[in-house]
Each structure stands twice: as C-alpha cells, then as structure tokens.
Amino acid sequence: MSTTKIRTRYAPSPTGKMHVGNLRSALYEFLIAKHEDGVFMLRIEDTDQERFVEGATEIIYRTLELTGLKHDEGPDKDGGYGPYVQSERMKTGIYMKYAKELIEKGEAYYCFCDKERLESLKTQVDEDGKTVTMYDKHCLSLSKEEVEANLAAGKPFVIRQNIPNEGSTTFHDELYGDITVDNVEMDDMILIKTDGYPTYNFANVVDDHTMNITHVVRGNEYLSSSPKYQRLYDAFGWESPVYVHLPLITDENHKKLSKRSGHSSFEDLIEQGFIAEAVVNYIALLGWSPEDNREIFTLDELIRDFDYHRISKSPAVFDMGKLRWMNGEYIKAMDFEPFYERALPYIREVITAPLDLKHIAETVKSRIETFADIPEMIDFFQAVPDDYDTEMYTHKKMKTDAATSLKVLTDTLPILEEQSDYSNDALYQTLSAYVEREGVKTGYVMWPLRTALSGKAVTPAGATEIMEVIGKEETLKRIRAAIEKLS
C-alpha cells in the first residue's frame, strides 16, 4: 500500500449556480480525503473566459461554507501548491511550459489553421446526425522552419495534442474499469487556445499532477475524454490519479436534472426551504450506499463510513419526495432556537397580526418537510378565508354536519364568552365538560370549532390551541362569523 497522503480537489468552473451534480463531486472528494485524514483542495477553473459568470466564485465559497465542506487548501488558504486559480496559474507560464515539452516529445504541435479551414472540415456526421469535427492533422506536417516563421509573424495559433492514427489507449476508472479506445477515434484536441489559455482538457492534467492530486471524482461526462488525458500522463511519464467517474443524476422521469424541475442547484433547494445538512445527506446517497440500510448521516458519520468502492454505476434518481422526507427529519431534530430563526421569515410572510409567533412556530416544527411549507400551513392564524366551504363541517367519523355544527357553535359561544383563562389546557377542560354533559364524542365538538376557527380541514393545531394563539376576542369573532355563515 502506498503511503502517499490522499489529496483530492474540487475544481468548479465559476459559471453560475452550484449544481447538484457538482456538489456531489465536491462531497465525495471531501469524504475520500477526510476519511483518510487527507487534504481537500479547492481549485477554481476559470480558463473558459466566455463562460465566466460574475459572482459565481462567491457562490462556490458560500456553498462550501454552508455545506460544511471545508477546504484545507484553496485560493484563500495557501498550502504550498498555489496559485489555486487557473487564470493565475496561467500567468506563471506553467501550461505553456508543459505544452512545449509535449511538442518537443512529438506529442503535440502548433496549429495555425483559421476558422474557415476548420469549418470546411465539418463534413462528418455521427449516428445522432451531429457533425463531428475531427481535425485532419494538417499542421502536423509543417516544418520546424514554417512553424517558426508563422510564430515570428505573429500568426494566431493553438497547440494540439498529437494522437496517432493507429493503436489504442487504455485508461482505468474505479467504477467503470478499463476503458480502451482506438486512437483513430480520438480528435487532436486543443491544449492551448488562441488566447493563450489552456483548455480544461489540458489544465486538469497539468494541475492534478503538479498539485499532487491522488483521487479525482467527477461526472461521467468526462469519461470519454479521459483516454486523451491518459495519453498526456503517459507522455509526461506521470502517474495518473485514481479516477472515479460518477453516474448521471436524473429526475424522477429519468431525464437529466434541469433548471425547470427546480432541483438542479443547491441554491434553488435552499431557496425552497431545504436545509443544507439534509441536502448534503441526501446527495451523499445519490450513487453511494452504506453497508447497512441507514439513511440519516451527519457529515462526520459520512466521513467515517464513506467508501468510494461502494458507489454504484447506475444512474442516480433524484427523488424529491425522499429529500422532502429527509429534510423533515432534520427539521424535527433541530433545536428550537435555530429552527425559529429560520422559520420566522416564512411565518412573517403571512402573519402580521400581533400573535405569539414562537407558539405558531412550535405548532409546525414536527409537521413540515421544508420551511416553504410553513406559510400555507399557518395562514389561518392571521385570518379565516371568507369563502371556505361549509361542506367542511361534515365529517362522517365525527358524526358532524352543518346542522350539528351550528348547534355546537351556538352552545359553546356563551361558554367561551364566560371563559377568562384562554390557555390551551383550561379551554380544553371547559369544553370537555360540555362534551360530557352532552354525552357526545370529543370530535363532535372540536371538529366544528376548529373548522370555524380556521376554515381549513387540516391545521397544525387543535381547536383549543388555536384559541390560545389567537386569543379570546378573535376566537369569539370567528365563532360568531361561523354561526352566521351556517345559519
């Protein structure tokens, strides 16, 4: 066994939100490192200047912070392998230096072909009807003198990888095993672009090697390019890292997660009232499973139990219902104060009356799955909707209907007018006495009262608890209004 310290990296491109797939890669990289007491590094891959989005780097930092995936090294934490931002690495000349080394070895070459010429190569069509542009190695035949003359004349150029037209290349992935591709299938990909920036394809190899990365976890969209990367490692005589390419995450309809489905990014989920710990827990299970059937894991437990050999190759289905359930479990387990702090804006969305907001928060804590469930669940504390259906008074099991309800409300109104103690317990006692006198079931009385007080069939609190929250005056007002509605 090697004694090398595990070093993993999360290498996002600052192109917008943090997608669930990216977060999963980050999480698995983090877990692999932390499981072995290794180093988890952040590298910003900003070489594609056209895709750069203002503010996206901040989102990356914020997400890592919120999810608890603390990096040990990164642009803000020097660990001796910097710079940690690719555009800054470029300025050190590192990519050009290695590209030139490849040219020396015959593994790469300058290409001066212009757009028009490249366009004219687009003649091949693959089975999906898409044009395949395979570069025809035109510039490989330029003599050293021709190349030098072009460079001296300041002709724009790219540097391409030189992949032979015969033989094959094999590359190993921990999940997918050995993958062999015929070299003729592989395009001479660009390593250095006209603007001098390296492509991802080149930079990922140079950086992973020079930053001593031991394990790379990334989406399997990179699987098909990996043989080309392997050729680069081999050309340099470098040992490649352990690769773990992760299966696609799909929605319930087995389609790729999309923005429209609302669960494509971490920010979307947080905005929808999910909590970071639950999202992390859920995402850990998108492709990985522990030896037992446990589902709820703290980050520390994940660090302890995570084993990348147990990642599955089959596509992971993002099940919103499951995440909602898990989030509900996390909310139940939260301490009240932090729960209340997070719930407050959602409560304030619908409650402006001077009510005991803490009490209202208590009523929903064990009932919601996401914080966004709160407003709809509690809006009746603010006001009863005028137009609720009186059909709601009819409840088979409670043996109630509009007529019995009218009687109960009319009977209990003076009792509730008399009552001065509007605590839940006192109200319950008083109403229980009425239940007993009448010789009816509790629900026969409480159902109509709760309907009158809420205009809803489902509430997070029973009739007397609602009375306690809204107080005497409002209680009586609502019951009188219900009597009028039923009369």
Q: How far is the CB of 13 from ligand GLU (least distance, A)?
A: 4
Cβ distance to ligand GLU smaller for residue 204 or 404: 204
- Tell me which of 77, 259, 407, 477 is the catalytic residue: 259
Q: How far is the CB of 216 from ligand GLU (least distance, A)?
A: 6
Catalytic residue list contains 259: yes
Query: CA geometry: angle at 133 spanning 127 and 134, to 5°?
Result: 105
What distances in angstroms separate CA 284 from CA 69, 163, 200, 301, 322, one per listed residue? Answer: 12, 38, 26, 11, 13
Cβ distance to ligand GLU smaller for residue 45 or 277: 45
Q: How far is the CB of 10 from ligand GLU (least distance, A)?
A: 7
CA distance 191 to 181: 20
Please report where in the chains the tokens 């999202």 appear, as a residue: 279
Cβ distance to ligand GLU smaller for residue 108 or 213: 213
Helix, strand, coil abundance in the chain, percent, nearest 5: 50, 15, 35
Q: How far is the CB of 322 from ligand GLU (least distance, A)?
A: 26
Q: Which of 408, 413, 398, 399 is nearest to 443 (CA)?
A: 398
Please tell me the number of Cα atoms within 13 Å of 455 on its side-chain side: 17
Instruction: Indicate the pairing of strand 168-173 with strand 124-125.
Output: unpaired
**What are φ and ψ of residue 196, in 5° steps?**
90, -10
Binding site for ligand GLU (CB under 6 A): 11-13, 25, 45, 200, 204, 218
Residues in the chain, total: 487
CA distance 363 to 465: 9
Cβ distance to ligand GLU smaller for residue 11 or 467: 11
Cβ distance to ligand GLU smaller for residue 44 or 139: 44
Q: Are 158 and 194 in contact (CB under 8 A)?
A: yes
Q: How far is the CB of 48 from ligand GLU (least distance, A)?
A: 9
Q: Are 11 and 206 in contact (CB under 8 A)?
A: no
Please report where in the chains the tokens 């660990």 appear, as a residue: 79
List the catalytic residues.
259
